[in-house]
C-alpha cells in the first residue's frame, strides 16, 4: 500500500518558540499515524534540528526541509546542500514548490538536478507540480503538469521512483482559500498516475504517493483525501493552527 501523508509547509512563518509550541500542541493530541500514514513538517532551515528532535518522541512523524540547492557544495553563500540535510538525519525535502518556481526562478531542469542530488544523499523529495490559473482557464493543465513531471523526473529509474512522493498543487488554489474540488483533484491525480504508469508501469505508478495541496483545511481534508488517487495533502496556512493540522492528519485514509 502506498503511503498516505499529511505534510505541513510552514513556509517563512513562525518564530522558533511559536513553532515549538505548535509542534507540542499537535504531538499532545491523539494522532492517527502509522507506517502507512505519516505526518511531515516542512519547517524553516534554522528550526530543523529542534523540530526533528521534538518529533523523535513519536513514530511516523518527520521533519522536512522546504528546499535544498542543486550543487553539491562550495561557494554558494546562503544556500543549503542536500548533504547538510542528510547530515542532520533528515529524510524528506520539499522541492519545486510553486513559490520557489515563481520567486526564485526554479526551472524543471534545475529541479531535475535537485532531485538527483537528493537521491545521491538518500533524501526523499516531495516534488511539487501544478498549473497557474491561466493554464487552468485554457484547459491545458494536463499537458502542463505532464511536462513538469517529464522534465524533472523521467530521467529517474523505476527503482528510484518506487515510493516517490509528488504534491499536485494548482497555483490558483494555494493560499487563496480557493480549493480545487475533490473531483478536480482526483481528475488530475488520476492523470498524473496514468502518465507515470505509461512510462514506468502500473506497479511503480501505484506505489507513488500523490498529495494534493491548495487551501486544504480541517473542513475539507476528509473529502479530498477520500478520493482514490489522493494520498494526503501538502498544507500551508492550515498547518500553522494546531487543531486544524491535527484534524488534517487524522483525515488521512
181 sits in which H/E element? none
Q: Which three cell numbers stand for residue 199?
A: 512510462
Rounded to 10 degrees, what is the CA torsion of 194, 42, 6, 233? -40
CB 48 within 8 A of CB 20: no
Binding mask 190-219 for ligand PEP (x = CB under 6 A): -----------------------xxxx---
Reply yes or no on whether 189 is catalytic: no
Please tell me which residue in 97, 131, 189, 244 is annotated as part of the active site.
97
CB of 241: closest distance to ligand PEP in angstroms? 11
Q: Which phi and psi angles does 171 have, rounded to 5°? A: -60, -30
Q: Which of residues 112-131 bind ligand PEP (CB under 6 A)?
A: none
Task: State the nearest-atom distance from the C-beta of 183 to ligand PEP, in Å.
Answer: 18
Residues 9-68 contacting ligand PEP, CB under 6 A: 9, 11
In the annotation, is 155 catalytic?
no
Is residue 169 a contact residue for ligand PEP (CB under 6 A)?
yes
- With binding defined as CB under 6 A, does residue 175 bind ligand PEP? yes
* Options 99, 106, 131, 169, the catalytic residue: 169
Contact 61, 33 (CB under 8 A): yes
In whole angstroms, the minimum distance from the beta carbon of 243 to ligand PEP comes to 15
* SS3 at position 84: helix
Residue 180 interacts with ligand PEP (CB under 6 A)?
A: no
236 contributes a contact to ligand PEP by CB under 6 A: yes
Whose Cβ is closer to ligand PEP: residue 41's or residue 200's? 41
Q: Are strands 92-95 and 4-9 parallel, antiparallel or unpaired?
A: unpaired
Residues paired with residue 62 on neighbouring β-strands, in sequence order: 40
Q: Does 174 bind ligand PEP (CB under 6 A)?
A: yes
When the beta carbons of 45 and 154 are compared against ligand PEP, the nearer one is 45
Q: Which residue has the cell 522534465?
A: 151
Q: Cα separation of 105 and 96, whole Å?
A: 10
Alpha carbon distance 105, 99 (integer Å): 9
Between 121 and 247, whose beta carbon lies closer to ligand PEP?
A: 247
Question: Where are the strands (E) in the chain, listed by range?
Answer: 4-9, 37-42, 61-65, 92-95, 124-129, 165-168, 209-213, 232-235
Choose one: 27-35, 75-83, 147-155, 235-243; the region binding ligand PEP (CB under 6 A): 235-243
Q: Kindly state the number of chain residues that form the binding site for ligand PEP, as judged by CB under 6 A.
A: 14
Q: Smallest gap, in angstroms, from Cβ of residue 87 to ligand PEP? A: 26
CB 146 within 8 A of CB 183: no
State the sign of the Cα–Cα–Cα–Cα dihedral 189, 192, 198, 204. Answer: negative
The catalytic residue positions are 97, 169
Contacts to ligand PEP by CB under 6 A: 9, 11, 169, 174-175, 213-216, 234-238
Amino acid at each position: 500500500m502506498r503511503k498516505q501523508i499529511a505534510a505541513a509547509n510552514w513556509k517563512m512563518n513562525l518564530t522558533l518558540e511559536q513553532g515549538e509550541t505548535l509542534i507540542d500542541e499537535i504531538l499532545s493530541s491523539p494522532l492517527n499515524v502509522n507506517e502507512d500514514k505519516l505526518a511531515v513538517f516542512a519547517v524553516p532551515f534554522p528550526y530543523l534540528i529542534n523540530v526533528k528532535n521534538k518529533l523523535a518522541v513519536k513514530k511516523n512523524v518527520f521533519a522536512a526541509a522546504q528546499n535544498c540547492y542543486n550543487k553539491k557544495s562550495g561557494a554558494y553563500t546562503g544556500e543549503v546542500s542536500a548533504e547538510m540535510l542528510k547530515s542532520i538525519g533528515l529524510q524528506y525535502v520539499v522541492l519545486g514548490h510553486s513559490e520557489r518556481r515563481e520567486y526564485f526562478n526554479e526551472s524543471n531542469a534545475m529541479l531535475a538536478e535537485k532531485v538527483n542530488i537528493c537521491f545521491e544523499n538518500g533524501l526523499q523529495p516531495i516534488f511539487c507540480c501544478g498549473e497557474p490559473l491561466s493554464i487552468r482557464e485554457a484547459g491545458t493543465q494536463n499537458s502542463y503538469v505532464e511536462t513538469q513531471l517529464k522534465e524533472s523526473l523521467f530521467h529517474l529509474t523505476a527503482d528510484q521512483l518506487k515510493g516517490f512522493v509528488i504534491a499536485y498543487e494548482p497555483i490558483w488554489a494555494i493560499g487563496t482559500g480557493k480549493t480545487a474540488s475533490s473531483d478536480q483533484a482526483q481528475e488530475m491525480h488520476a492523470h498524473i498516475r496514468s502518465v507515470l504508469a505509461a512510462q514506468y508501469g502500473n506497479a511503480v505508478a501505484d506505489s507513488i504517493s500523490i498529495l494534493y495541496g491548495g487551501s486544504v483545511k480541517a473542513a475539507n481534508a476528509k473529502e479530498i483525501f477520500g478520493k482514490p488517487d489522493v494520498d494526503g495533502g501538502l498544507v500551508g496556512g492550515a498547518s500553522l493552527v494546531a487543531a486544524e493540522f491535527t484534524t488534517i492528519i487524522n483525515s488521512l485514509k
